[in-house]
């Protein structure tokens, strides 16, 4: 089996461990803390700081960031070892504009290799930050490329071969905001941390001693490491005060492998204004939205009628009251939802030079020779596991292609996958032959594919040549090899 993180696992069947002021924590059979925390909602939601632009000129932005170790007391009195960018957990928000030259120096202060991948960014392959661009311990990596895409909420996270899940779990993730003349001009909330709120939603599991219970045994690889505690911007059950009017929430499912349904306790309707790659043409009214690992959505929520609770439900697992939202009492008139956001340059199917097929599959393997109950399962794309020395697909520079992705589920092995492509923002043509729902009709870089489902996407492969990844964004699947490489060639 592949390498795994060695962490001590509390094997005692049922243990009581003091966790200070919140009382006693009960450990389950596997040694994970399982106490339901007393609903507190006292910690204010932390807003990741905006990373300082060292250039500050309109056409160029320059940043510096350090990856290092940290420690957080998620349970009072227990220090959890974490990783963070410029801090203990998660990282600052990087804000840039379309058309700007973007430079950043990323220093790796860890004792292991990492990378920094720009999820959702259209960029030269050498600055993608995937497994092909390792940042060895003690070194600095300095990408330098132009921002060439419309306003969107992207994110960054490590992507070193076999280490993505573990490093993200320990805290490595942050947001990238791209702004442009459309996001400037739209009459929507845009004051960072006041009425334009980033929400990084993740779940975690802890050992009795408070450490993250990140293990990659066969069960956790297949199902993903699913947590029984929910964090918003790195905090359990925070509370957020917003103005009593229209507020914009930028949602990121930053979990390793969970699929979330996100909504509010009072079922209030909100309006989705952006998907992974930026604004939709028109807002989509919903009262809950499903986001798979890696997906984002921007939503407008009306708080003229007061606060509510943010509810997050895992597709496999629990249901969480994730955050309390209160209003500052300054309720102002009826909120206006714009009826047009931006005109999208839709990619016509007729432009595609061909269709490539991808089968995401879980196959049974083992038995016989493997013996000892090692009957296993194998996660593949087109029957293959990731090999960094193999190019799986060659795509012609300047071409447009349709990729038809099927989640083929063998009996008893059905699981959802979250397909992600580097470098491009695609458009979903269909889900099982049907037009996708309105909130999935904008630009996307990650798409949930349920067992048995076939999703057709269309994309332009413009501007840059080189090798990029496509993979399942359930990070345990990705680390296990559910990933391939496409090369854009002239
Ligand atoms: Cu968000 Cu290849 O990753
Ligand atoms: Cu990516
Ligand atoms: Cu998967």
Q: How far is CA 318 from CA 146, 178, 490, in A?
A: 42, 33, 48
Distance 332 CA to ligand 1 centre (A): 40
Where do the domains of the chain lie, and which CATH numbers do they carry? Answer: 24-35+193-327 (2.60.40.420), 48-185 (2.60.40.420), 349-489 (2.60.40.420)
471 lines ligand 1 (CB under 6 A): yes
The residue count of the chain comes to 490
Taking 50 as the pLDDT cut, the residues of the chain under it are 1-23, 368, 370-374
CA of 476 to the centre of ligand 3 (A): 8
pLDDT recorded at residue 376: 66
Q: With a 6 A CB cut-off, is 159 part of the ligand 1 pocket?
A: yes
Alpha carbon nearest to ligand 1 atom 3, residue: 119
* Helix (H) or strand (E) segment spanning residue 144: strand 144-146
pTM for the model: 0.93
Q: Is 240 in the pocket of ligand 1 (CB under 6 A)?
A: no
pLDDT at 411: 62
Q: Does 10 sit in the ligand 1 pocket, CB within 6 Å? A: no
HSE value, Cβ hemisphere, 13 Å, CA-based, for 400: 12
pLDDT of amino acid 26: 79
Where is 403: in which H helix or E strand?
A: strand 399-408
- Closest to 366 (Cα-Cα) out of 475, 178, 218: 218
- Find out whether the beta carbon of 119 lies less than 6 Å from any atom of ligand 1: yes
> Ligand 1 in contact with 477 (CB < 6 A)?
no
- Asked if 96 contacts 178 with a C-beta cutoff of 8 angstroms, the reply is yes
CA 4 to chain centroid, in Å, comes to 22
CA angle (153 as vertex; 485, 191 as ends), nearest 5 = 165
Nearest ligand to the CA of 160 is: 1
Give the three-state DSSP class for 33.
Answer: strand
**Separation CA 308–CA 45 (nearest Å):** 15
224-250 burial, b for 16+ CB within 10 Å, e for fewer? bbbbbbbbbbbbbbbbbebbbbbbbbb
* Ligand 1 in reach of 165 Cβ (< 6 A): no
- DSSP annotation string for 242-264: E-SSEEEEEEEE--SS--EEEEE
* Long-range CB contacts (within 8 A, 24+) of 215-220: 215/4, 215/5, 215/7, 215/9, 216/2, 216/4, 216/5, 216/165, 216/166, 216/476, 216/479, 216/480, 217/4, 218/1, 218/376, 218/377, 220/476
Q: Which ligand is nearest to the CA of 415?
A: 3
Structural tokens at position 464: 């840059």
What are the two backbone dihedrals, phi and then psi, of residue 170, each rounded to the nearest 5 degrees? Answer: -80, -5
What is d(CA 81, CA 79) in angstroms, rounded to the nearest whole number?
A: 6
**Residue 412 has what pLDDT?**
65
| Residue pair 206/82 in contact by the 8 Å Cβ criterion | no
Assess whether the C-beta atom of 293 lies below 6 angstroms from ligand 1: no
**Which residue, by CA, sits nearest to atom 1 of ligand 1?**
119
- In short, whether 377's Cβ falls inside 6 Å of ligand 1 is no
Which-ligand-closest: CA of 360? Answer: 3
Q: Of the candidates 276, 92, 278, 256, which has an alpha carbon nearest to the alpha carbon of residue 174? A: 92
Give residue 333's pLDDT.
65
Q: Which ligand gives the minimal distance to the CA of 477?
A: 3
CB 35 within 8 A of CB 24: yes
The answer to whether residues 192 and 93 touch, using CB atoms and an 8 Å cutoff, is: yes
Burial class (CB in 10 A: 0-12, 13-18, 19+), 318: middle
Q: What is the predicted pLDDT for the residue at 316?
A: 83
Residues contacting residue 372 through CB under 8 Å, at least 6 positions apart: none
Ligand 1 atom closest to 155 (CA): 1
């Amino acid at each position: 089996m592949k390498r795994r993180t060695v962490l001590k696992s509390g094997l005692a069947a049922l243990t009581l461990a003091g966790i200070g002021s919140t009382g006693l924590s009960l450990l389950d059979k596997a040694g994970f803390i399982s106490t339901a925390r007393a609903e507190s909602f006292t910690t204010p939601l932390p807003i990741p700081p905006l990373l300082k632009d060292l250039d500050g000129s309109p056409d160029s932005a320059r940043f510096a960031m350090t990856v290092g170790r940290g420690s957080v007391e998620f349970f009072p009195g227990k220090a959890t070892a974490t990783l963070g960018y410029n801090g203990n957990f998660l990282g600052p928000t990087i804000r840039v504009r379309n058309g700007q030259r973007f430079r950043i120096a990323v220093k790796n202060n860890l004792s292991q290799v990492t990378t920094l991948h720009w999820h959702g960014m259209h960029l030269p392959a050498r600055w993608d930050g995937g497994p092909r661009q390792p940042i060895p311990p003690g070194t600095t990596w300095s990408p330098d490329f132009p921002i060439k895409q419309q306003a969107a909420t992207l994110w960054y996270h490590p992507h070193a071969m076999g280490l993505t899940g573990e490093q993200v779990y320990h805290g490595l993730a942050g947001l990238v905001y791209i702004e442009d003349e459309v996001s400037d001009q739209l009459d929507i909330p845009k004051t960072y941390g006041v009425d334009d709120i980033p929400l990084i939603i993740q779940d975690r599991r802890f050992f009795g001693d408070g450490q993250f219970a990140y293990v990659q045994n066969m069960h956790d690889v297949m199902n993903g490491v699913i947590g029984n505690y929910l964090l918003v911007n790195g905090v359990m059950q925070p509370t957020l005060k917003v103005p009593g009017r229209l507020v914009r929430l930028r949602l990121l499912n930053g979990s390793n492998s969970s699929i979330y349904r996100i909504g509010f306790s009072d079922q209030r309707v909100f309006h989705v204004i952006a998907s992974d790659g930026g604004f939709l043409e028109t807002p989509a009214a919903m009262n809950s939205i499903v986001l798979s690992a890696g997906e984002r959505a921007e939503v407008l929520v009306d708080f003229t009628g007061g606060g509510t609770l943010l509810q997050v439900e895992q597709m496999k697992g629990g249901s969480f009251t994730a955050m309390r939202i209160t209003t500052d009492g300054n309720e102002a008139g009826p909120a206006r939802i714009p009826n047009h956001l931006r005109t999208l340059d839709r990619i016509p199917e007729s432009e595609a030079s061909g269709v490539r097929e991808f089968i995401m599959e879980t196959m049974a393997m083992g038995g016989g020779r493997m013996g000892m109950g090692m009957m296993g399962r194998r996660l593949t794309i087109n029957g293959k596991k990731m090999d960094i020395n193999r190019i799986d697909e060659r795509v012609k520079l300047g071409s447009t292609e349709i990729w038809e992705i099927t989640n083929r589920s063998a009996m008893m092995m059905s699981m959802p996958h979250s397909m992600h492509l580097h470098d491009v923002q695609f458009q979903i043509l269909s889900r099982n032959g049907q037009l996708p729902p309105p909130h999935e009709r904008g630009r996307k870089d990650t798409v949930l594919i349920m067992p048995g489902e076939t999703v057709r996407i269309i994309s332009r492969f413009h501007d840059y040549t080189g090798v990029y990844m496509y993979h399942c964004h359930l990070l345990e699947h990705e680390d296990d090899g559910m990933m391939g490489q496409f090369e854009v060639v002239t």
